[in-house]
Structure 1
């Protein structure tokens, strides 16, 4: 799952990026609002962590623009502005959540998960499709009652498919779920992960849709 972090505090930004990477997310980080706007226009993100006081384009202005364009990406504001009036303004601008600095990084992860559940219309943390079940918090996968050991990249590919059951997920979308900016992507990496998932689960679990991508079997 890919997250855009728009934070101009270098130390805090590095800490958040490191934590979320360990938590299994792919993180792209920018320090200006105008760069965040460009990134959102050119990449597929599942969540935006947005500081209000960004240079170039403020977080408030960026969020106002996103919502005016009917962009529904979950947005969590991360800011030092902690007055009640500030919280109300941020939420009324269209933020899905508002987190005041300094905050606990475990709480940030929990708020991201909650924002994604609301966006996807789910109440349960688990992702379920037939006999296949994933717990993103515990990083556990079961299939037909068996516990399945997956690598971090295999887990990310399967999670991308489970978040869109019944839909075809393209190769480029799966690559976006695995790699941040600047990371080298090998030409056959997705095919390798799909092959390994079929071997560990069942060959029939993941269908190849010719020239389109992959989807979970009905």
Structure 2
């Protein structure tokens, strides 16, 4: 009996609470509420005004290639084309590493029609050309690496980069003439500049190869 009375009491309380929740606002007197004397500001800051208040966001991850081989080829690709696989310059040089059709055919790339759209082929072409240049310049690398020529300290990676720019033959002439026999491409970029800019990268694992296997 006591439980029944308790249950009825609880139901009555719940009924009263629910019922008052649906009473119209008209039954309340809001005349006592006023904003008089309060300092109100309805101006919302713009994004430009709000951003300086936000703490700067620090990236969680960094890509640091340093002086690795990947760093070497990416730095060279960026200098040649800003890393654009699909670009052709005014002189007809193609892709990320700016190859001519003649150079590609010399290396054995028979199908160059899709070269601009085949990133794997472009990366293979770069590696193949680098191994050929290292084979052609292998004696010069042994002889001149570590020495200063034309005011620039010579390194293996610098030599390979310069060969990419000017061809291995022109690099030989530069080194063997103590920097007197100079070369500049159509844009005015010199062997000396490439020797300095791409100095000190680790290209030691690149195997000299006169006839590398290509795609």
Higher relative contact order (CA 8 A, sep 6+): 2
**Structures share fold, TM-score greater than 0.5:** no
Which TM-score applies when normalising by structure 2?
A: 0.28
- Bigger strand share: 1
- Bigger helix share: 2
Largest Rg, 1 or 2: 2
